[in-house]
Amino acid sequence: MLRATQDIAVAHGLEGFSVDEVARRSGVAKSTIYRHFGTGDELLLAAMGELVDAVPDADTGSLLGDLTLIMTQFVAIATQPSIRRLFTSVLNRSLDNDDFAALQEELVTERKAPMRRALQRGMARGEIDPEIDLELASTIVQGPFVARVLHERGSFRQGEVERIVELMVKAMAP
Residues lying near DNA in the complex (CB under 7 A) are found at 17-21, 27-32, 34-36, 38-41
Residue 30 near which of its own copies, DNA, none (CB within 5-8 Å, type-dependent): DNA
For residues 173 and 141, give the distance between their C-alpha atoms in angstroms, rounded to a whole number. 13
Q: For the CB of residue 167, give the shortest distance to its own copies in the complex, in Å.
A: 4
Distance between the two ends of the chain, CA-based, in angstroms? 52
Residue 49 near which of DNA, its own copies, none (CB within 5-8 Å, type-dependent): none
Q: Please say whether the beta carbons of 48 and 93 come within 8 A.
A: no
Tell me which residues touch its own copies (CB under 8 A): 13, 15, 81, 84-85, 88-89, 91-92, 94-96, 101, 104-105, 108, 132, 136, 139-140, 142-148, 150-153, 160, 163-164, 167-168, 170-172
For residues 35 and 43, give the distance between their C-alpha atoms in angstroms, rounded to a whole number. 11
For residues 18 and 15, give the distance between their C-alpha atoms in angstroms, rounded to a whole number. 8
* Burial profile 61-90: b = 16 or more Cβ within 10 angstroms, e = fewer: eebbebbbbbbbebbeebbeeeebbbbebb
Q: For the CB of residue 115, give the shortest distance to its own copies in the complex, in Å.
A: 12
Q: For the CB of residue 28, give the shortest distance to its own copies in the complex, in Å.
A: 27
State which residue, 35 or 157, has the beta carbon closest to DNA: 35
